[in-house]
Amino acid sequence: MPPDTPLTQPLVQVAVPSPLYGVFDYLPPPGQPLPARGSRVRVPFGRQHLVGVVMALAPRSEMPAHRLKHIEAVLDGEALLGPPLLGLLEWAAGYYQHPLGEVISTALPTLLRQGEAAQVQGITRWRAAVDEVPEEMMRRAPRQAALLHDLIAQPGGLDAQQLNDAHANWRAPMGALVDKALAAKAESPCLQGIPVDPDTVRSVSLNPAQAAAAKAVISAPDGFAPFLLEGVTGSGKTEVYLSIIEDVVAAGRQALVLVPEIGLTPQLLTRFQARFERPIAVLHSGLTDRERLCAWLSARSGEAPIVIGTRSAVFTPLANPGVILVDEEHDLSFKQQDGLRYHARDLAVMRARRENVPVVLGSATPALESINNARKGGYRHISLPERAGVASHPEVSLLDVRRRPMTEGMSDILIEQIHRHLDADGQVLLFLNRRGYAPVLQCHDCGWAADCPRCDAHMTYHARRRQLVCHHCGVQMGAPDQCPGCGSAQVHPLGQGTERIETALQTLFPEVEISRIDRDTTRRKGAIEAKLEGARSGQHRILVGTQMLAKGHDFPGVTLVGILDIDQGLLSADFRATERMAQLITQVAGRAGRAERPGHVLIQTRQPDHPLLLTLIHEGYRGFCRQALEEREAACLPPFSYQALIRAESPQADHPLAFLGEARELFQQAGSTVQVLGPVPAPMERLAGRYRAQLLLQAETRAPLHQLLSRHVQALASLPHARRVRWSLDVDPMELF
């Protein structure tokens, strides 16, 4: 049969998770109804059997008929992914130039990817029936004791996957615990409410600005409508979200809320749950596969009126969507940095368009891209310029620390201010975006410095553990007592990290309770909750930490914020560095004076005349944006141009540049107006033993860039050096390295 002869039965085009682009043709399953678009099927693929998703039916195939294979099984009786979501995924595959099958696979929970039935089931969990591990058990049955200890720590119980992860062969000791009635097995409903402390529940009535903001969204005509909600820190954006959601839920529709990192803002979930009686579906990376499937299916069925999740939750199916909200829309965590390199905020806007619903991007410090979209009239700009309730704006000043006496990175003026605020019963927050004790360990005699063996970077010294840790690749080793270069004992930590500041503060303020909040002190389960509670209650008088502190927390007692070092942000080569610095300063400063007492913010710098810094201090984030956008426009940088970055890496130093050189030729032959810049080695060329380089494509408008990409990206894989490197394409890159 020639390839173009119409077949008597239609063909099924299936997106299969594979790095190959396009869809694949299959014959329908013998003797079964045709599968619907958007449903999963199991298909033979090479020597494998894969779960794919039906994209279309087609009358004919390019493939010779004898090579066509049958679909082995249809896994969903109806479409698993509805038209708006499936359409979004197809769009994303085109926009990010990523294979469709992989895009769809990114959007599916693991269990569905593996072919599990799309049915809501309860989850079996084991819970402790006692509050303490009996003492004699620790000696006689240590495995049971360890298991019971973990169960007690987790009042909600643990499911089989969590137990598998933490304990080998847990079933026998668990059986023993259940027999002794120390633990119990229970089937819990798929969706569980988030525990809420009734003391934290309080209702507020919206102030006029909040009410106007909520009304703008609620009363928008039916259909797609994008909003930028710019509300200064403490202006009560969350109350606005809650009010919008109340309206949406009352109308029987669903709200999808995207947040940066759920683990860092446990307060947010309880605030939502306190307001709504029905369970909330929460999607984040800490879920077990079964919990994730459950949340996903509850969103899809409409059973969950509210769905809150991180980045990938933008792909959650919704039976009856009413609004999409993106909180802290400027946050970098919305950008996926490997595989399908999507931006969840941008996809949220595109999703809202396809679902025909309003979308609200909220932030105290919107991304310059979003501000620019609002200026051009693409987004409706709503502002909350004042703090809610009784709080007033904090007073911000620059502290020129050149030639000032410094104690471990803190100037005499700052230390004096800390004393003053503590004496007046205030709380103090100190921000330094560098964890560890010191960023370098150096020999005073010969100049040797501890470098990472696998990266072009110094290793960070962690004093308490007496270890050197590379913050780029994670390599760890014991810190030497003697210089490996000259044998001298004069090896000293240089510069400060949060651990060193904490130690210095303990010496300066021995009678004060100090809490350090960074990734090193919050690794343990429950640690971040305890730290945030200590900060909120005022028990911890001095808080010192990294950008974890900047994430929207409400610390009502903080009256002084000290920003120890911002000069790095001003010196960085990345054109987005100043924007990030301004966002961080504004967000950290926003932790001060959130209650009755006014807040003060002191920013230490050695560049007190930096124009962007001065604008930020005197005119606020708004003024900063105006000036930064002018500079971006003059330099023809995003959002006034469009970029795509091709990265390549290899253990061999020359291969990435060779591959990107070939790529450059490929793009240049196309004779497009797109600028091809590079290739150049990455600013930090070697990471984890691999050499990295990049090629930048930039255009004044989006169309030619996308034309160029869609014509040539698939050919990159056949370039002579393609097999010698690992390469990736990043459309709208957020980081240029």
Residues forming the site for Zn ion (CB under 5 A) = 443, 445-446, 448, 452, 454-455, 470, 472-473, 475, 483, 485-486, 488
Nearest distance from residue 629's CB to ligand ADP, in Å? Answer: 23
Pairing of strands 24-26, 11-15: antiparallel
Q: Which residue, 357 or 455, is less far from Zn ion as judged by CB?
A: 455
Going through 9-110 in order, the beta strands assigned E by DSSP cover: 11-15, 24-26, 40-45, 48-58, 73-74
Residue 485 interacts, among Zn ion, ligand ADP, none and using kind-specific CB cut-offs from 5 to 8 Å, with: Zn ion
Residue 458 DSSP class: B
Residue 235 interacts, among Zn ion, ligand ADP, none and using kind-specific CB cut-offs from 5 to 8 Å, with: ligand ADP
User: Measured between alpha carbons, how far is 705 from 716 in angstroms, rounded to an integer?
Assistant: 16
Q: Which residue, 480 or 608, is less far from Zn ion as judged by CB?
A: 480
Q: Which residue, 235 or 288, is less far from ligand ADP as judged by CB?
A: 235
Residues pairing with 643 in the sheet: 698
CB 371 within 8 A of CB 625: yes
Nearest distance from residue 490's CB to Zn ion, in Å? Answer: 7
CB 544 within 8 A of CB 583: no
Binding site for ligand ADP (CB under 6 A): 204, 206-207, 210, 231, 233-239, 388-389, 552, 554
Q: Which residue, 93 or 388, is less far from ligand ADP as judged by CB?
A: 388
CA–CA–CA angle 107, 109, 114 (5° rounding): 110
Nearest distance from residue 265's CB to ligand ADP, in Å? Answer: 10
Helix (H, G, I), strand (E, B) or coil at 54: strand
**CB-closest chain residue to ligand ADP:** 236
Nearest distance from residue 253's CB to ligand ADP, in Å? Answer: 23
Radius of gyration of the chain (CA): 28
Residue 448 interacts, among Zn ion, ligand ADP, none and using kind-specific CB cut-offs from 5 to 8 Å, with: Zn ion
User: Measured between alpha carbons, how far is 501 from 436 in angstroms, rounded to an integer?
Assistant: 10
Q: Which residue, 593 or 656, is less far from ligand ADP as judged by CB?
A: 593
CB 712 within 8 A of CB 644: no
Nearest distance from residue 392's CB to ligand ADP, in Å? Answer: 12
Q: Which residues contact 119 (CB under 8 A, 6 or more apart)?
A: 297
Nearest distance from residue 586's CB to ligand ADP, in Å? Answer: 11
Q: Which residue, 51 or 382, is less far from ligand ADP as judged by CB?
A: 382
Residue 472 interacts, among Zn ion, ligand ADP, none and using kind-specific CB cut-offs from 5 to 8 Å, with: Zn ion
Q: Which residue, 154 or 267, is less far from ligand ADP as judged by CB?
A: 267
Residue 730 structure tokens: 């990043």
Residue 497 interacts, among ligand ADP, Zn ion, none and using kind-specific CB cut-offs from 5 to 8 Å, with: none
Q: Which residue, 293 or 384, is less far from ligand ADP as judged by CB?
A: 384
Q: Report DSSP letters for 298-323, one per residue.
A: HHHHT--SEEEESGGGGG---SSEEE
Nearest distance from residue 552's CB to ligand ADP, in Å? Answer: 6
Nearest distance from residue 232's CB to ligand ADP, in Å? Answer: 7
Q: Which residue, 275 or 472, is less far from Zn ion as judged by CB?
A: 472
Residues 215-246 as b or e (16 or more Cβ within 10 Å = b):
bbbbebeeebbbbbbbbbbbbbbbbbbbbbbe
Residue 389 interacts, among Zn ion, ligand ADP, none and using kind-specific CB cut-offs from 5 to 8 Å, with: ligand ADP
User: Measured between alpha carbons, how far is 493 from 438 in angstroms, rounded to an integer?
Assistant: 6
Query: What are the backbone angles phi and psi of residue 171, rounded to the nearest 5°?
Result: -65, -40
Residue 706 interacts, among ligand ADP, Zn ion, none and using kind-specific CB cut-offs from 5 to 8 Å, with: none
DSSP-H helix ranges across 324-411: 344-355, 368-375
User: Measured between alpha carbons, how far is 283 from 256 in angstroms, rounded to an integer?
Assistant: 11
Nearest distance from residue 207's CB to ligand ADP, in Å? Answer: 4
Q: Write the CA distances from 501 to 437, 547, 553, integer angstroms.
A: 8, 15, 21
Residue 236 interacts, among ligand ADP, Zn ion, none and using kind-specific CB cut-offs from 5 to 8 Å, with: ligand ADP
Q: Which of 584, 587, 578 is nearest to 625 (CA)?
A: 578
User: Measured between alpha carbons, how far is 311 from 96 in angstroms, rounded to an integer?
Assistant: 16
Residue 233 interacts, among Zn ion, ligand ADP, none and using kind-specific CB cut-offs from 5 to 8 Å, with: ligand ADP
Residue 340 interacts, among Zn ion, ligand ADP, none and using kind-specific CB cut-offs from 5 to 8 Å, with: none
Residue 210 interacts, among Zn ion, ligand ADP, none and using kind-specific CB cut-offs from 5 to 8 Å, with: ligand ADP
Nearest distance from residue 494's CB to ligand ADP, in Å? Answer: 37
Nearest distance from residue 554's CB to ligand ADP, in Å? Answer: 5
Q: Which residue, 505 or 625, is less far from ligand ADP as judged by CB?
A: 625
Q: Which residue, 272 or 624, is less far from ligand ADP as judged by CB?
A: 272
